[in-house]
Amino acid sequence: MTDSLRGRVAIVGAADTEVGKVPHMTPMQLCADAILRALADAGLTKDDVDGLVTCNSMAEPYMYHAEATAEYLQIFPRFCIGVGAGGGTTFSILHHAASAIVSGMCNTVVVAMADSLRTGMTRERAMVTQSSSGHTQFESPYGPTVPALYALIARAHMDTYGTRPEHFASVAVTCRKHAALNETAQMREPITVEDVLNSRLIADPLRLLDCSLVSDGGAAIVLTSAERAADFPHPPVYMLGFGEGYGHEHISQAHSLTESAAGIAGARACEMAGVTPREMDFAQLYDCFTPVVLLELEDLGFCAKGEGGGFAASGAIELGGALPINTHGGLLSHCHPGNPGSMFALTESVSQLRGKAGARQVSGAELGLLHAQGGILSSHTTLILGSEATL
């Protein structure tokens, strides 16, 4: 078992910016705001930072985003890198940041991501981005947008396992229930399965409320060694396991539309952490579209293949259920500013493992699984986090 990173690095600071419509801040300002908030949470200043990781912004791209962020804040790190792996970026870079700390390259690494997809891009520009992600030879010429490509996955799951639109809708309803308990969430008004089924058709069988939000926002975390972690204001949250899996880049080249490399990523993360999926107190699963959550529940080992729909609809994924997921509201109801979207699952998990999530707190939470994916079910990364009790 690869255990060289297990428990050796901890999150000691975490913070979000405001989310939703934030027209008074640029993506760079949001990123800087997230960094300063996270440092304040850790009781540090920007002069303590010797490692910086960011991802580029779609609304305000820079050729060298991390370096531009460091310049903006006047941080002079030893380790500075901008990354891009779609929605999986957040988690895929974390073991690199952890390795920089374990190797002695850095003492304090900040990972920060922000964008302004809601107010920083015109509708026309957003549509160009949506329609340019497909394979240039086999997909883009036919005009599918991102929702249309994910609709293929939804339809395949329905045809293979008898999954119904009501099953997909139950994911959206659960995420909205959790968002209603989160005063920072973009969408908090309760919805029903019928509301989802009656919402506007986007790409058959996906409807508007099956699709994640379009948002502005940013978040950041502060990492340091486990040896230093006790010196900070809040209980540290330890990184126990990391795993990645890649099956394809373009959905037309996927070997399956009903199985993903989430299973590979999850197995690798659990092996490093020395735990099983059944031991998790909660999970934060990438919910860009509702069918993705069903695949992740199955591939990550929380239920058998084909049972994701029934598992979700049973209430098992709600607070108080067997496996509460997306306790902040997820991409479906909290916010989704593009590549930074998973950062909010990470900061939410820190709150849960600190026992500071308020009305949405999972009782006795000590262990959590986080999963992110990028592209069209392409790149997958799983992260296992734990409290002091899990070491």
Place of tokens 């069988």: 205
Give the type of residue at 355. G
* Strands 379-386 vs 216-225: parallel, antiparallel or unpaired: unpaired
d(CA 185, CA 89) in angstroms, rounded, equals: 22
Secondary structure of the chain in HEC code, one letter for each residue: CCCCCCCCEEEEEEEECCCECCCCCCHHHHHHHHHHHHHHHHCCCHHHCCEEEEECCCCCCCCCHHHHHHHHHCCCCCEEEEECECECHHHHCHHHHHHHHHCCCCCCEEEEEEEECCCCCCHHHHHHHHHCCCCCCCCHHHCCCHHHHHHHHHHHHHHHHCCCHHHHHHHHHHHHHHHCCCCCCCCCCCCCHHHHHHCCEEECCEEHHHECCCCEEEEEEEEEECCCHHHCCCCCEEEEEEEEEECCCCHHHCCCCCCCCHHHHHHHHHHHHCCCHHHCCEEEECCCEHHHHHHHHHHCCCCCCCCHHHHHHCCCCCCCCCCCECCCCHHHHCCCCCHHHHHHHHHHHHHHHHCCCHHHCCCCCCEEEEEEEECCCCEEEEEEEECHHHC
391 residues of the chain, pLDDT tens digit each: 455 899 999 999 999 999 999 999 999 999 999 999 999 999 999 999 999 999 999 999 999 999 999 999 999 999 999 998 678 778 999 999 999 999 999 999 999 999 999 999 877 776 666 666 778 888 888 888 899 999 999 999 999 999 999 999 999 999 999 999 999 999 999 999 999 999 999 999 999 999 999 999 999 999 999 999 999 999 999 999 999 999 999 999 999 999 999 999 999 999 999 999 999 999 999 999 999 999 999 999 999 999 999 999 999 999 999 999 999 999 999 999 998 999 999 999 999 999 999 999 999 999 999 999 998 999 999 999 999 989 8
Please give the C-alpha separations between residue 339 and each of 67, 331, 349, in angstroms, as whole numbers.
Answer: 18, 11, 18
Query: Using an 8 Å Cβ cutoff, are 391 and 227 in contact?
Result: no
What are the backbone angles phi and psi of residue 273, rounded to the nearest 5°? -75, -20
* Confidence (pLDDT) at 136: 85
What are the backbone angles phi and psi of residue 350, rounded to the nearest 5°? -60, -45
Token couple for 341:
């979207």
* Confidence (pLDDT) at 3: 58
Please give the C-alpha separations between residue 324 and each of 171, 280, 304, 358, in angstroms, as whole numbers.
Answer: 11, 9, 17, 15
Between the two ends of the chain, the Cα-to-Cα distance in Å is 16
What are the backbone angles phi and psi of residue 99, rounded to the nearest 5°? -65, -35
- HSE-up (13 A, CA, CB side) for residue 215: 31
* Confidence (pLDDT) at 5: 93
Query: Using an 8 Å Cβ cutoff, are 319 and 327 in contact?
Result: yes
d(CA 326, CA 177) in angstroms, rounded, equals: 10
* Confidence (pLDDT) at 388: 93
What residues does 201 pair with on adjacent strands? 207
* Confidence (pLDDT) at 127: 66
Quick one: which of 245, 237, 322, 321 has its CA closest to 279?
322
Polymer length in residues for the chain: 391
* Confidence (pLDDT) at 177: 98
- Architecture of the domain delimited by 9-120+214-231: 3-Layer(aba) Sandwich (3.40)
Rg, the chain, Cα only: 19
* Confidence (pLDDT) at 142: 82
